[in-house]
Amino acid sequence: MIHKIIIPLFHEEVAPRFDLASEVLVILLSKGNVIEEKKTIVLPRPSADELCHLLLSENVNTLICGAIEEEYYQFLKWKKINIYDSIAGNWALALEHWQKNVLKCKDILLTKMAEGKYV
């Protein structure tokens, strides 16, 4: 099964607010959660409406994001998109947690450097 995830970005972090993100990461995963494609899309301006349109036009299954207004949350749920909201921290760590099936809404995923590695 092909799975598509969008993560609104702010540098290397999950964007703190869905409606203020001007860049998103689109990840296409194949069976076994293997990353087949990863692309960054820069939006012309931050817009929750345009982001919702992008999710629908890209046939996204899952959204990993920071804060999201209730109106957009309900609309995307109605469109059968899985939403992990109120996520804070590094987008790669959020994706890794999703792949391991341990990501939960409101997760705070902080990384720190210890002995030359992120932990």
| pLDDT tens track for 55-105 | 999 999 999 999 999 999 999 999 999 999 999 999 999 999 999 999 999
The H-or-E segment that residue 28 falls in is strand 23-30
Whether the Cβ atoms of residue 28 and residue 2 lie closer than 8 Å to each other: yes
Whether the Cβ atoms of residue 66 and residue 8 lie closer than 8 Å to each other: yes
Task: Give the burial class of 2: count Cβ atoms within 10 A of its Cβ; 0-12 exposed, 13-18 middle, 19 or more buried.
Answer: exposed
CATH superfamily of the domain spanning 3-118: Dinitrogenase iron-molybdenum cofactor biosynthesis domain (3.30.420.130)
**Which residues, listed in sequence order, are joined to residue 89 by a DSSP beta bridge?**
109
Rounded distance between C-alpha atoms, residue 68 and residue 71, angstroms = 8
pTM above 0.85, yes or no: yes
Rounded distance between C-alpha atoms, residue 95 and residue 45, angstroms = 25
| pLDDT tens track for 14-67 | 999 999 999 999 999 998 888 999 999 999 999 999 999 999 999 999 999 999
